Amino acid sequence: MNELLIIADPRLMAERSAWLENLKSERRLSEHTLDAYERDSRQFLTFLTGHLGGPATLKDIEALRPADFRAFLAARRKEGSGARSLGRNLAGLRSLLRYLQKKGLVNAAGANAVRSPKQPKSLPKPLSDNQAITVASNEAQLHEEPWIAARDAAVFTLLYGCGLRISEALDLTGDTLQPGTTALRITGKGNKTRLVPLLPIVVEAVQKYRSICPYHLDSAAPLFRGARGGKLQAAIIQRTMQRMRGAFGLPETATPHALRHSFATHLLAGGGDLRTIQELLGHASLSTTQVYTGVDSSRLLEVYDRAHPRA
């Protein structure tokens, strides 16, 4: 705290502490995010000490222009910060200034006028064909209770076989996936509805779960149930996948959502066209789906490097 008193006016420091407390008690941000915002604001005040020639005051903050914030981001970039860190730096500062503006102490226009650094697009990380098939198989499930093992296999099979988001799978009701069903009508993000064809193996996995589930699967009630009969929660499936990573040597990127990535990537590798995959995934924009072409290209290059005699 002594260091902070040197780099900022006491009143500004008090308002900063109040902002952090507000984030904790009212916004209920995670400890990780709070630590990051504390660090980001401290680094900004330290920068202002040199930039302004003395400890910053609320009046100094009020007078800051977009160029001042860009100078801070440039200094951070020079120290080695990447686009993601810089974006978080700016988000934290905007949060602080919005808080001060609500109290009538400053105007946040300067920070709001600065563009966030362009974030690098990270490629989805799908599982290999064999890894995805293993995760979705009934034999690979780790739970000792047969109906829970069958339930987990059915959920994973839906994620990989239909490209569903985990929330979409867990929102299915008891009247879906009855014998003879050939397609699912899914309502995804933005209430966008799509029709997803069903592979026989998907129907088979769900019917196996239905046949041994100890709870009555009412037509309007959740299809997938927790151990006590309530709606199955996504956290349970995520923890199950975490256990499978250890049991089968899967990468850290093996998550339930990675099965959706695997669905799209493997379809593309098998000759599927982007427009069809876009419809199956429920993407509003084709550009969102096009990221999978990068995944497929990178996999082709890996195979080329490994197998070509001149590589």
Task: Note the maximum CA span of the chain.
Answer: 75
> Is-contact 265 296, C-beta < 8 A?
yes
Residues 172, 48, single domain; the answer is no
Residues 102, 138, single domain; the answer is no
d(CA 44, CA 93): 8
Which candidate in 24, 125, 257, 299 is catalytic? 257
Based on the residue annotation, tell me whether 165 is a catalytic residue of this protein.
yes
112, with CB counted inside 10 A (0-12, 13-18, 19+), is middle
Based on the residue annotation, tell me whether 121 is a catalytic residue of this protein.
no
For residue range 215-238, what is the model confidence (pLDDT) as tens digits? 999 888 999 999 999 999 999 999
| Number of domains within the chain | 2
Q: Name the domain boundary from 112, 142, 167.
A: 112
Which candidate in 151, 210, 260, 261 is catalytic? 260
Rg (CA), the chain: 25
CATH number assigned to the domain comprising residue 135: 1.10.443.10
Based on the residue annotation, tell me whether 292 is a catalytic residue of this protein.
yes
In the chain the first and final C-alpha atoms are separated, in Å, by: 57
Name the residue with tokens 């002594």. Answer: 2
Which candidate in 16, 76, 88, 165 is catalytic? 165
Residues 231, 256, single domain; the answer is yes
Residue 52, domain member (yes or no): yes
Q: Name the domain boundary from 85, 112, 139.
A: 112
d(CA 266, CA 77): 38
Residue 252, domain member (yes or no): yes
Total residues found in the chain within this entry? 311
Tell me: pLDDT of 96 over 70.
yes
Residues 17, 157, single domain; the answer is no
- String of DSSP letters for 167-225: HHHHT-BTTSS-TT--EEEEE-GGG-EEEEE--HHHHHHHHHHHHH-SS---TTSBSSB
Residue 250, domain member (yes or no): yes
For residue range 260-290, what is the model confidence (pLDDT) as tens digits? 888 888 887 777 766 777 777 776 666 656 6
Tell me: pLDDT of 295 over 70.
no
Q: What is the mean pLDDT of residues 53-57?
A: 87
d(CA 277, CA 263): 9
Based on the residue annotation, tell me whether 27 is a catalytic residue of this protein.
no
Band the pLDDT of 5: cuts 50, 70, 90: very low
Residues 221, 302, single domain; the answer is yes
Please enumerate in sequence order all residues whose Cβ is within 8 A of that of 286, keeping only pairs 6 or more positions apart, or say none.
274, 275, 278
Residues 102, 185, single domain; the answer is no
d(CA 80, CA 72): 13
Q: By residue range, what is the domain housing residue 72? A: 2-112
Which candidate in 189, 192, 243, 275 is catalytic? 189
Please enumerate in sequence order all residues whose Cβ is within 8 A of that of 284, keeping only pairs 6 or more positions apart, or say none.
189, 190, 192
Residue 120, domain member (yes or no): no
Based on the residue annotation, tell me whether 283 is a catalytic residue of this protein.
yes
Residues 137, 248, single domain; the answer is yes
Which candidate in 37, 99, 209, 292 is catalytic? 292
Residues 195, 260, single domain; the answer is yes
Helix then strand count (H, E) for the chain reads: 16, 2
Q: What is the mean pLDDT of residues 150-167?
A: 93
